[in-house]
Every structure is written in C-alpha cells, then in structure tokens.
Amino acid sequence: MKKRDIKINVPVLARVEGEGALELAIKQGRIEELRLRIYEPPRMFEKFVEGYSYDDLIEMVARICGICPVAYQMSAVQAMEGLFGIEPEPWVKAMRRVMYCGEWLQSHSLHIHLLAAPDFLGFGNVIEMAKTYPVEVRRGLKLQALGNDLITLLGGRSVHPVGICVGGFRRAPEVAEVEAIVQRLEEALPEAAALVGWCASLKLPEDAQVFTSVALSHPDEYAIGEGRLCSDGGLDIGISDYEKHFREFQEPHSTALHAHLDGKPYLVGPLARLNLNRDKLPGPVRESLEQTGINFPSVNMFHSMVARAVELHLVVYEALRLLRDYEPPKQPRIEVKPKAGITFGATEAPRGVLWHRYEMDRGGLVRQARIVPPTSQNQARMEEDLRNSLEAFGLDQEDAALQLHAETVIRNYDPCISCATHFLTLDVTRR
Amino acid sequence: MLKAHKFSCNDYAKTMKPKLAVHKFSSCDGCQLALLNAGEALLQLAELVDIVHFAEAGPVEQDAEVDIALIEGSVSTPRELEHIQTIRDNSRILISIGACATAGGLQALRNMADAGAWMEAIYAKPEHIELLGTATPISDHVRVDLELWGCPVNTGQVVTAVRDLLSGVKPRQELEPLCLECKRQLNVCTLVTQGEPCMGPVTKAGCGAICPKFGRACYACYGPAEKVNDQSLGQRFEGFGLLPEEVARRFRFITSNAPAFKTAGERLEKTK
C-alpha cells in the first residue's frame, strides 16, 4: 500500500480548558512532527504575587484557574500554615476535605459529561449528546451542581470562593445548611456508583502504554489535601524535596513548561492516583471499582475515564461521611502570626499534583513564588502518549479519524491549559 | 449611548435562532463556567440560541457572524489584538464578561511593572513567547455594547443579560455600590463593627455580598462602583492602622487597571 503524506492542523482544540492547538505531520507512514502547541498567553502570576500578603495570596492564586481554584487555595494555605507553625484543627481539616471533595466532584463531572464522553459516544458536544442520552447528561449536570454547592457551602461561591483562610475558615456553615446538602449527597451516592459502571461500559480504546504514575499518598486516607510524593517506580519523598527529583524546562512551541521526573515524562491525575492509592478506597467505592471488572493498576490511559468516575464516587462518599454528624465548631479559625522563611505546599488538584513553593518575609508578604500545576507536568507524557497512541491506532487511517483520535487522546488527560501557562520555572536571575 | 432597539434579537425568533459565540482571551476560564455550570439553564439556552462558537463546550467556528458575542479575558498578545477586531466586525452585540475583559483582570498588575524583565525571569527563552507589555480590557480596543463585571461573573448575570437581549429588553447595568446590596441582606457591617478595610463603599454590587456575609471585608472583585471616593475611604483605612502601601494594595488588586482604582493606586503610591 502506498504510504501517504499527511498534515493535520487543529488550530483550536475543543472541549479543553484553555487554548491549545495540535500539529501533526506524517511522512512516508511515519510521524515526522507532532506538537501539542499551547499558545495560551502567560499571565505571570508568580511575579505579581510578590509583595502581597499571605491573605491576598489565597485570593490571587485562585485566579490561576476557574475550574480548580480550591486546589490553588489549598496548596497555598498548606504552605502558609506550615511556615507559621499552625496545625489545622480536626474540624478545619474535615471541612477542607469536604470542600476539596466538592471541587473534585464538579470538575470530574464536568470532564466526564461535557468534555470527554461525547468522544466515546460519537457526538460533537454535550448539547447534542443530551438529545440521545438525556438521563445520563442530567445525572452528570446534577452531580456537577452538587459539587459546586459543596464548595459554595464553605466558600460562598464555587468559582474563586471566599471562605478559606490561613488558620481555618472565615465562616462555619449552619446546621440547617449542612442538613440540606447531606440529603442531596444521600441521593447522589447511588447515582455516583452507577456512573462508575456507565463509564466502564463506554467503548474505551485499548491502548496499553509504559509510564510512571506520580501522586500524593497518605497512610490513612485516599490522599487529597496532603501526603508524601510517591511513584510506582519507588519514589517516596517529602514535598520539600520535589525540586531534587523533578525538573521543568521550556519547549519553543509551548507557553507551558514541560516537566520530567529523573529525566523522563510521568503521569499525574486520576489514573496515576488510582494506580497508587486504590488500597485506600473505602469499602463501597472499592466494590464499585471491582464490579467494573477492570484491573488496576492499569496501563491503559483511557482507563482515566473510569478512574475519574471512581474518584467521583469516592468524593460523594467522603463528603457524606464527613458531614453526616456535622457540628459547628467553637470558632472556625485561629489567630495567625506570620513568620519569615521558605515553605512548600502540595495537594491533589482534580488533574493531579499541584506543588507550591514560597519565600515569605517577616511581615507576611510574598518574596518569591513558584507554582507547578498538573497540566504542565502531564504535557511531556501527553506528547509521548500521542505518538504511541496514533501509531497503535494506525497512521493509514483517514485524516478525520486520525484527528479525532488525537483529540480524544488529549481530552482524556483533561488538560487545563489555563493553569499550565501561568507558572513557569523561576531560576530567577534578578536584575 | 446604548439604544434599546439595538439589543433586540427577537426579530430573529420567527425565522431562525439568534447565533451566540463565547470567546476566550487571557483568563482563567472561570467566567465561562457561568454557562458551563448553569446545568439545566445551559440546555434551555441552547434551545433559544444557536451556539456556534464555544471551544470549551465543543463548537468551534471562530470567525462566524453572530448576534451576540460574549468575551472572557483581557487582551495581552498581538494575536488577541487582531482577533478582537475580527470578532467585533462579526458581532452585532458584543458583551465583555468578567474582570479580565472589563478591566484587564488581576494580570493587569503587570502593567505597572517592566514586563520584559519579568519574561526573562520566568522563561529561559523569552523570544519564543509573544506578549504585549500590558493586559488591557476589551473596551480599550473595540466598541463594547455591554459590560458584565465580576471575578467571576455568575450564571444569573450572564443568563439574565442574554435572555433580556432575546426578549428585546435592554439589559440592566449595575450601578449601585455593594453597601446597598449588603444592607438589604442585613449583614453586619465589617467596616463599622470590626474595623476591617472593606471595599464595599467603592465596589459595584452584584456578587450577593458574600464576603461580608462570611464576616470578612469585601476585596472589590466586582470592580469600582459608579462613584468612588477613594480618598475618604483610604483615610478611614489608615485610621485602622493600615500603611499607605497596604491601602494602595486594596485598590491594586483584582481590577487594578479600572480607571477609578488606577487613579487611587497612583495617588497612594505618591504618598508612600
């Protein structure tokens, strides 16, 4: 068969957060050029937070990403409290986990239904899909709304919430507010379990790959808000040692930096987390995973969809567990006294590890910041995956099919390009 | 300046659905969530309008002619500078949504700095990055028919404006300061009772006064109100013990580039 020369150019990637493009050139049946080009303009957050206070910082970093503002606030608040010698009260810890569960719930549901599922069911977007799958789409929108309302319960609004602060929360919800949401969580629990089965029943491509999974791990729970940085290659380090093992670098075709672990691409996000932490799933969630018949750890990247659904079930279960016997605290936060020094924060954003490093002065103002978001960590892995996956798919396929497959591979990572471009390495040479 | 008949899209109703586009410029994507988080209201909206461009939701037709264009984000690259002109030419009604599109957003903080030096600090090879020296609002570049302020805007603001337009009604512009909205909710005033540097007196209403409801000072994420007496409020803040640079940072925050706050920031800079 004659080998074709193909050029595929997707100038605007649809159903991803932020702005990216794909350039693919195939010559004589071989991939000659493959670029996930990120042209989202950098906003330079790391520079303009300098000189602002630890309180301002919590509001500023939220603006890095409209889809995961809670993650940014949580990594930053963890860093500040670590430096100031504050150990959050059990109530504060529990409510932060609830709020983070809300963010995973809305973000995962948004990705599954609005961004990814149309690929596997043959639709251009969720509005078309809703005509054939009205029940599934409405279930998804309902779960997404519940996630947003959990964030609002503790933060006043779901995008750039205002409740979290260094030392705790600005306000504790009233019992009646919590009771209303507990009832909705009870109703959502079986729907979340059903969603796991539905995602597993989608026609997900078979696509085994070799990659390293990286996630936070915690001895007592499925890590969300804290943990050690671990990999399936034996990495097990404190978050302050991140820079000894991970390296960010710039590629000319992207405004987002790429990252390597010990010189190689790696994966963060739902599949990496489930591969590493599935033994920490509570019983009923583990059951819903087992019923899918899919074995984890999995090397099929498309099992990210199933992993996302399992985590969605997990966070509904966790939020319910933590809110069922809710009692308001004596006070939602404690007094804060700033200290100077270098400090770190790392939590699991819906898309994977979100790592922060700050240098603070005595007055509690930021002197220097460095933020590494999940999507820039996944970018090298995404390009590696695209190459493998397109070759396995068959480069002799029709152009339209190749393009759709490439886009499906990218969307499967749930890339958040808005996040990815706002952080950049700070090997600063100051002038 | 704004004529009601201009907003009427209902003449389309009998023949074909009005076309809507959602465009993204430099931003966090948070204002598009006003639609993506709208749930059932999004599906209903899709019945009323033909969504021809909304990359995050799926449809991509960047250069389509539309009746209503919603713009999120600020202008900060040469490409965006060109793109906004094309969008203006292709749109009957252009609405900027959120702090980035209406005021340049948080990233406009870099307008005060030497952006070139920042680029060198951040990127090893800054020559590969195309960026303007400033992040500016949409209205600096093209005529804007309606501005919806807020960081982020909420679903109510966006859906109400679009539905007003579809019914031939001129959308309401928010003019009053947050204090009025806050009082109607019977919140305890954080400025008067706790000595918190609350920006409510100089900030546009529309958010639901959530910060005072949470017992904290408003940080002006909805931008300046119609009238801003920054001098008087600044003096009050200094009375609470804030240094002039701390007062300046209250104005130089989410919408530092909005004219009223920009002036306040510059005035306070001089008194430092």
Distance from the Cα of A119 to chain B's closest Cα (Å) equals: 11
Residue A37 has pLDDT above 90, yes or no: no
CB-based contact A14 B58, cutoff 8 Å: yes
Please state the separation of Cα B254 from the chain's center in Å. 10
> β-pairing, A20-27 with A6-10?
antiparallel
A263/A260 Cα distance (integer angstroms): 5
Please compute the mean of the pLDDT values over residues B67-94 and round it to a whole number.
Answer: 96
Dig out the tokens for A68 from the structure: 């995961």
H or E, element range at B50: strand B50-54
Residue B243 has pLDDT above 90, yes or no: yes
Question: In chain B, which residues have their Cβ closer than 8 Å to the Cβ of A109?
Answer: none
Q: For residue B4, what pLDDT is reported?
A: 43
pLDDT digits (tens, 9 = 90+) for A217-250: 999 999 999 999 999 999 999 999 999 999 887 7
3-state secondary structure (DSSP) of residue B70? strand
Mean pLDDT, chain B, rounded, equals: 90
Write a three-state SS string for A130-176.
HHHCHHHHHHHHHHHHHHHHHHHHHHCCCCCCCCEECCEECCCCCHH
Q: What pLDDT band is residue A424 in, cutting at 50, 70 and 90? A: very low
The answer, for B48 touching chain A at a CB cutoff of 8 Å, is: no
The answer, for A249 touching chain B at a CB cutoff of 8 Å, is: yes
Q: Which residue of A has its CA nearest to B31?
A: A66
CB-based contact B57 A15, cutoff 8 Å: yes
B89 Cβ contact list (under 8 Å, min separation 6): none
CA count, 13 A, side-chain hemisphere, B101: 32
Residue A2 has pLDDT above 70, yes or no: no
Q: For residue A23, what pLDDT is reported?
A: 84
B31/A32 Cα distance (integer angstroms): 38
Q: For residue A430, what pLDDT is reported?
A: 24
User: Is the preceding peptide bond at B152 cis, omega within 30 degrees of 0?
Assistant: yes
Q: For residue B116, what pLDDT is reported?
A: 65
Q: What pLDDT band is residue B128 in, cutting at 50, 70 and 90? A: low
A4 Cβ contact list (under 8 Å, min separation 6): A26, A29, A396
Please compute the mean of the pLDDT values over residues B44-61 and round it to a whole number.
Answer: 92
Task: Beginning with the edge strand found earlier in the chain, give each strand of the sheet holding B66-72 in spatial order.
Answer: B50-54, B19-24, B66-72, B91-97, B146-148
The answer, for A250 touching chain B at a CB cutoff of 8 Å, is: yes
Closest to A426 (Cβ–Cβ): which among B121, B215, B249? B121
A250/B209 Cα distance (integer angstroms): 42
Q: For residue A67, what pLDDT is reported?
A: 94
Q: For residue B40, what pLDDT is reported?
A: 86
CB-based contact A66 B131, cutoff 8 Å: no
The answer, for A125 touching chain B at a CB cutoff of 8 Å, is: yes
Distances from the Cα of B57 to the Cαs of A14, B94, B270, in angstroms? 7, 19, 46
The answer, for A17 touching chain B at a CB cutoff of 8 Å, is: yes
More confident site: A338 or A250: A338
A395/A30 Cα distance (integer angstroms): 8
Q: For residue A24, what pLDDT is reported?
A: 85
pLDDT digits (tens, 9 = 90+) for A156-215: 999 999 999 999 999 999 999 999 999 999 999 999 999 999 999 999 998 889 999 999
B188/B159 Cα distance (integer angstroms): 30
Q: For residue A425, what pLDDT is reported?
A: 30
Q: For residue A428, what pLDDT is reported?
A: 24
Interface size, chain A vs chain B, as Cβ–Cβ contacts under 8 Å: 182
Residue B84 has pLDDT above 60, yes or no: yes
The structural domains of chain B, ordered by start, are 4-166 (3.40.50.700), 178-271 (no CATH)
The answer, for A367 touching chain B at a CB cutoff of 8 Å, is: no
Nearest to A51 by CA among B249, B133, B218: B249
Q: Where in chain A is the domain with CATH 1.10.645.10?
A: 45-409+416-420
Q: Which fold has domain A45-409+416-420?
A: Cytochrome-c3 Hydrogenase; chain B (1.10.645)
Q: For residue A122, what pLDDT is reported?
A: 93
Q: For residue A258, what pLDDT is reported?
A: 77
**Phi, psi (degrees; rounded to nearest 5) at B58:** 140, -60
Please compute the mean of the pLDDT values over residues A293-317 and round it to a whole number.
Answer: 97
Q: For residue A422, what pLDDT is reported?
A: 44
Q: What pLDDT band is residue B2 in, cutting at 50, 70 and 90? A: very low
Which range, of A235-244, B12-21, B94-103, averages the lowest pLDDT?
A: B12-21
> β-pairing, A168-169 with A164-165?
antiparallel
| Alpha-carbon dihedral angle through residues A319, A322, A324, A329, given to the nearest 10 degrees | -130
